[in-house]
Structure 1
Amino acid sequence: MPTDKEASRIWRGRIRDILNGQWDPIGGCPADEYDGYVGTIAAMVRDNATDAALIKYLEWAESVHMGFGRFDPERARTVIASIRALGTAP
């Protein structure tokens, strides 16, 4: 059985995979492109942030931080549902 630290690393890795596979607003980036967002999203989920708060964070990441003028809230909802499906944070 993995330790809490190992379980957390695995869980965060799964969040990373979801961001790369389902969110990916830039498109076809290296595997580490969205690593800077994993920690915040993991903390938000761990702290029981609402879906609306997570959507707002993803919107900020795309629209402000990355500078894209577009944002797809439906894609964000799908990403959040996938992250929630991972279960509670270790």
Structure 2
Amino acid sequence: MSRVIALEDGLEELGQYLRQRGFITVPWSQVSGPVDAVVYTGRKLKEITMTPYNSSSEELSDELNPGSPFGVLLVNAEDRTPEEIYEIIKNRIYEHFI
């Protein structure tokens, strides 16, 4: 299953990088359905949480599966390389657990 990633305007090169690795990317301003992650740089968290993003599959929905660790992953791309962002999205975590 491909993951859908919403990107803030200006992150088109990152979008191309993620598409080459099998992700589906959509501009933040054109999201019309559920997404797995939102990648942003300058938006305030309040603006992100006010947008109606949903998990892309019902079985992962927080509403249908309370306590589930899944939902929309918010990724701040500031000071991160495309490789770092890819790993964050792929693993759904910011750091590796030891």
| Higher fraction of strand | 2
Larger RCO, structure (CA 8 Å, separation 6 or more) = 1
TM class by shorter chain equals: under 0.3
- Output the TM-score relative to the length of structure 2: 0.26
- Output the TM-score relative to the length of structure 1: 0.27
